[in-house]
Amino acid sequence: MTTPSATADQRPQAPAGRARPTGPRALLDAVGGQNLILLLALAAVLALFGSLNLNYLSWNNIQVIAEAATIAGLLAVVQTVVIICGGLDISVGSQAGLASVVSAMVFTSTGSSALLGMGAAVLVGAAVGLLNGAVIIYGRVNPTIATLAGLAAYKGVAQLISDGRAQGYVLGDPLFVFLSRGRIAGLPTMVWILLLIAAAVHVLLTYTDIGRNIYALGGNDTAARLAGINLNKYLLSVYALTGMVAAVAGVLLTARTGSGQPTSGSEGLELQAITAAALGGCALKGGKGGIGGTLLAVALLGALQNGLTVQGINTFWQNVAQGLLLVAAVVIQQRRGRERAVGLPA
Amino acid sequence: MTAPESPPGAGPSPQPALGLAAENVGKTFGSVRALHGVTVAFPPGQVTALMGENGAGKSTLLRILSGDHRPTEGEVLLDGVPLDLSSPTDARRAGIRIIPQEPEIIPHVSVAENVYAGSLPRRAGRRLDRAELRRRITADLAALGFDQVLDPDLLGSELTAAQRQLVEIMRAITGTVPPRAIAFDEPTSSLSENEVEALFALIGRLRDQGIAIVYVSHRMKEIFRLADRIAVLRDGTLTGVLPAAETDERELVRLMVGRDLAGLFVRQDVATDRVVLDVRGLTTDDVHDVSLQVRAGEVVALAGLIGAGRSELALALAGDAPVRSGEILLGGRAVRLRSPKDAIRAGLGLAPEERKAQALFLHRSIRDNTSLVSLDRLRRRRFVKRTAEKQLAQEYADRLRVRAPSIETEVRTLSGGNQQKVVLARWLARRPELLILDEPTRGVDIGAKAEIYQIIADLARDGVAVLVISSELPEVLGLADRILVMQNGRVTGELGRAEASEEVVLALAMTDDLATGPRTTDTDATTGVAR
C-alpha cells in the first residue's frame, strides 16, 4: 500500500485473453490448490496406517472404508450445497434417523413393500427439508438455530413414532439386501449410490443455470436478488433436496443395520458432514466450494477414522480428532481468505 | 510532493502551529487516490469548516485525523508534534475526538453506560459502580447543559436522533484526557431547528475553551454562521482555506466544483422521441411523487446530494422496493415490478451504487459475473451452453476493455475500474432497453472514467435509454442530455443541457438549506416533465 502507483495500474494490461497456463501450473489449476492439499493429506494418511498395518491397504479394507463413509458422504454432499447457499443444516443426522424409522415402519405395515417404505422415507425427508427452509425464510430464523431446533425435534419425532426402539427387520427383502450387501462391477451398491448422487449434484452445481444461481445467492445475496434470482425459491428447494438426500442416507442406514434406527448410527453425522464440507473447501460464508473437494474430504475422514480404529485407538480420541479437524479446516480457510481478525485495526 | 496551492491567510506557517494539523497527508486505497498532499491547520479556539463535494476526501481526512485510517504519506501534528496514530484509541489519548455522522450507540444499555463505555467506573472485582456512574453522569449532564434533554436512564434504543448525537458529544468531551480538537461530521443532518441551536451554542462554548473545532457540512447557512475559517477539498486536494468573513457562497461553490473534465466527455445528440421509461407520480417509502421520462438514446442524469433518494428511486425502478402509488410505464405499457426479475424481464437493468456489495460475486470469474443475468438466453434445458457463454463474456470483456489475464480470472483480483466494467458488461450483454447506472465511476481512476463515459455514449447511440445517477457535478453536466435534481426524495428541478451549470444544480440540490418557503412551491412546477 505504500507504493500507490505500482498497484492495479501496473497489472497485466492486456485485455482479457484466452491465455492458458501450461505445465504443472495447469495441473494445479485443474485440481485446485485446496484439493491438492487434500490429496496429499489422504496419501499421507494411507501411507501412515498402511505401514503400521499391512491389511489396512487391502482391497477388502478399502471397501470397508468406502461403505462406512457412504452415509456421512451423502450428507456431506448435500451439506456442501447448503453451505454454498450461505446456509447450514445441522439437522441432517436427525433427518436421516427419522427417514430410517419411517422406511422400516412403512415397510412393515405395508406387508413388506420395500419401494413404499423407501418412497415414504424420501417424502418425509422432502417435507422436513421444506419445513427447515420455511422456518429459515418465512420465520427469518438464522439457519444454524432453525436446524439446531430441527436436530432436536426430528430426533424426538423419530423416537416418538418408534417408541425409541429399532423398528422392523428389512433384510428379508431382496431390495434392502441388495442395498446393504450387493455389488455392481465389484463396488458395493451403497458406494454407487453415493457416487451417483454426488455426480448428479456436481452436474447441477457446475453445468446448469440453477447451480450458477446457487453460487450467486451464497456469494452475495443482495447482488443475486438484484440480478433477478428468486432467493426464497432457491433456498426452499435446496433445503428440500437436503431432506430428500438425508432420507436416502436414512434408507441406507436401515439397510445396513437391518432395521429402522431412530438415533443409533445417525447421531453425530451432521458434524461429519459439516467437517467434510469445510475441509473440502466450502467457505462457511457461502458462495464457494464444490463436490470434488467434499468427496476427497469424506475419503480422508473415512480413511482416518478406519485407521484409528484399526490401530485400536479409543473412539473418544476419534471424537477429539474430529473436532480438531473441523477447527483446523476453518482456520486454514480464514487464513487463506485473509479474513480480518476481530478487533484489530486495518 | 510539493505543498498544494496555499491561498492567502492559510498554509503552513514557519513556526510550529498550535492545534491540530495535517501535514502533506495523502491516502491511497488500492489504485484510487483519495487524498493528495493535504496540508491544513485547525487552530485552537477556532471553528474550521471542511467543505467539498461527495467523494472529495472529507471523510477520509477525518478518518486519518481520528486514527481510523493510516495516511499513505504525510503526518498528523498536534501543537507541531507529529502523532503516531495507529488506532482510534491513540487519537483519543492525544485528545482528538470525532463525532461521527451516524452515532454508534449500544442499544440495550443506558445513556450513562453508553457515554462512559470502555471506562465505566468500577469497584473491586470489576463490578460496575452504579453510584459513581450516577454521580458522574448527573454532573456531566449539568455541566454541559443537557440535563433537561437527556434522561441518563434511557436505553440506547429509545433515543431520538438528536439524543444519540448528544451521547456521542458527551463521549467526546468527558473522559480522562481533556479534548484538544473535536470534529463534527455533518452533525445537523438529523437534528431539528431547536436542537441545531443548542448544538451551535455548545460548539461556541467549546471553541471559547480553546478547543480546535473541525466542522464538516454541506450547509452554507450553517457554515457562515459558525465557521471562522473554511477549508475546501476537491478530488482529494485542498483547493483553498479562506477566512469566513472574506468569502461568499459563489466562491466556495467554485472551489468545490470548478474543474475541467470536459475533454473526457463525448458530446452527441442521438436522443430520439420514443419514450422508453415514463414514471408518473411514483411514491415509495423513500421517494415522493416522482415523475420522469427517459427516451431512447437519451442520457438523463439524476443529480443531488447523498441521501436525496436517487438510489432509492433506482431500486424502486429495478423492482427492489415496493411502490406505494404512481405508475411505471416501459415502452408505453404500464408494468408492475414486484421483483428485480420482473424488471429484468421488462427490459430494465440496474448497475447499483455499491458494486461490491450489490453487484459483484468477488470469488467468481469474469465469465460467471458477466453471464449471470443472461443465463436464460444461454441455456438449453437448464444446461448452460459453455461455448456461447464464453463467447458472450469474451465479447463484452473485449468491447469494454476489461484488463485481466483471462475471462476466468476471479473478479476480486481486478481493480475498481475493471470491476465496474464487469458490472457494465453484465448489463450490456443483457441488452436492456433502459439501463440505470448508479454512480458508475465511483472509486474509479481517471482513465477508466473516460472509458466508462465512452461506453455510456455508445449505449445511447445504440438507442438504449440511460439514466445515470452521479454525485459528481462535472460528470452530470458532461454526460447528460437532461438533468433532474433530487432532494429529500423529491425532484426539485429539471434542467436542459443549455441551462445547466454546476452552480444551478448545486443550488437545486441544496434548495431547502439555501432558502426555505418560496422554493418549495415553485419546484412543484418543475417536476412535471414537458411533453
One-letter-per-residue 3-state SS of B388-438: HHHHHHHHHHHHCCCECCECCCEHHHCCHHHHHHHHHHHHHHHCCCEEEEE
Q: CB neighbours of B431 closer than 8 A, spacing ≥ 6?
A: none
Closest by CA position to B273, among listed B291, B292, B293:
B293
Inform me whether the pLDDT recorded for A105 exceeds 60.
yes
Whether A216 sits inside 8 A of B407 (CB atoms) is no
Inform me whether the pLDDT recorded for A25 exceeds 90.
no
- A20 → chain B, closest CA residue: B406
* Domain boundaries, given as residue ranges, for chain A: 70-331
Whether B363 sits inside 8 A of A219 (CB atoms) is yes
* Domain boundaries, given as residue ranges, for chain B: 20-105+159-257, 106-158, 262-347+432-527, 362-429
Which of residues B403 and A101 earns the better pLDDT score?
A101
- B397 → chain A, closest CA residue: A16
- B373, B403, B445 ranked by CB distance to A228: nearest: B373
Alpha carbon B71 to chain centroid, angstroms:
20
Model confidence at A12, pLDDT cuts 50, 70, 90, reads: very low
Gap from A215 CA to chain B (nearest CA, Å): 9
Q: Which residues of chain B have pLDDT under 70?
A: 1-17, 30-32, 54-55, 189-190, 257-264, 443, 445-447, 511-531
Architecture of domain B20-105+159-257: 3-Layer(aba) Sandwich (3.40)
Q: So what's the ipTM on this one?
A: 0.81
Q: CB neighbours of B161 closer than 8 A, spacing ≥ 6?
A: B190, B191
Assess contact for B395 and B425: CB atoms under 8 A. Answer: no
DSSP lists the bridge partners of residue B436 as B350, B467
B328 three-class SS: strand
Whether B373 sits inside 8 A of A227 (CB atoms) is yes
Inform me whether the pLDDT recorded for A342 exceeds 60.
no
Interface A-B, measured as beta-carbon pairs within 8 A, has a size of: 134
pLDDT at B116: 85
pLDDT at A96: 95
Model pLDDT for residues A40-78, shown as the tens digit of each residue: 889 999 999 999 988 899 988 998 899 889 999 999 999
pLDDT at A21: 53
Residues of B in Cβ contact (< 8 Å) with A227: 340, 344, 372-373, 426
B291 three-class SS: strand
- The answer to whether A215 contacts chain B (CB < 8 Å) is yes
Q: CB neighbours of A341 closer than 8 A, spacing ≥ 6?
A: none
Inform me whether the pLDDT recorded for A156 exceeds 60.
yes
Spatial distance between the Cα atoms of A87 and A132, rounded to a whole number of angstroms: 11
Spatial distance between the Cα atoms of B292 and B492, rounded to a whole number of angstroms: 12
Substitution target from A226, A229, A284, A333 for chain B, most B beta carbons within 10 A: A226
Residues of B in Cβ contact (< 8 Å) with A346: 69-70
Substitution target from A13, A212, A344 for chain B, most B beta carbons within 10 A: A212
Share of chain A above pLDDT 70, in %: 87
Spatial distance between the Cα atoms of B74 and B313, rounded to a whole number of angstroms: 41
Domains B20-105+159-257 and B262-347+432-527 agree in fold: yes
Model pLDDT for residues B232-286, shown as the tens digit of each residue: 988 788 888 989 888 887 788 778 766 545 556 777 778 888 899 999 999 999 8
Gap from B364 CA to chain A (nearest CA, Å): 8
**How many angstroms separate the Cα of A319 from the Cα of each of A52, A245, A273?**
21, 25, 14
3-state helix, strand, coil in chain B (%, to 5): 40, 25, 35
Model confidence at A91, pLDDT cuts 50, 70, 90, reads: very high
The CATH code that applies to domain B262-347+432-527 is 3.40.50.300
Determine how many CB atoms are found less than 10 A away from the CB of residue A223: 25
Inform me whether the pLDDT recorded for A13 exceeds 50.
no
pLDDT at B277: 92
pLDDT at B519: 35
pLDDT at B518: 37
pLDDT at A295: 94
pLDDT at B7: 44
pLDDT at B522: 36
Residues of A in Cβ contact (< 8 Å) with B343: 228
Whether A216 sits inside 8 A of B364 (CB atoms) is yes
